[in-house]
Amino acid sequence: MAQDKTYQAPAAHQQLLPETGSEAVAPLASLGFVGMLLGIFAMGKKKEDQ
């Protein structure tokens, strides 16, 4: 007899990635982004003053 050699995916079984991050990082990242924008703005104002 001939065997069926097609791949059969597992039915409804998903492997989830481990949760390695924390939710406390989001506010810190937002603060860093705002700081970066303020730094760019300050550098722009400094060039205009010269």
Q: Residue 15's pLDDT is what?
A: 72
Alpha-helical runs (H) found in 1-50: 25-49
**What mean pLDDT is predicted for residues 33-41?**
94
For residues 16-50, one letter each, b for 16 or more C-beta atoms within 10 angstroms of the residue's C-beta and e for the rest, the string is: eeeeeeeeeeeeeeeeeeeeeeeeeeeeeeeeeee
Of 40, 21, 20, 38, which Cα lies nearest the Cα of 30? 38
Radius of gyration of the chain (CA): 26
Confidence tier at 38 by pLDDT (50, 70, 90):
very high
Mean pLDDT of the chain: 77
Question: Residue 46: is its pLDDT beyond 60?
Answer: yes
Compute the distance between CA of residue 30 and CA of residue 36 in angstroms, rounded to an integer. Answer: 10
Q: Residue 13's pLDDT is what?
A: 59
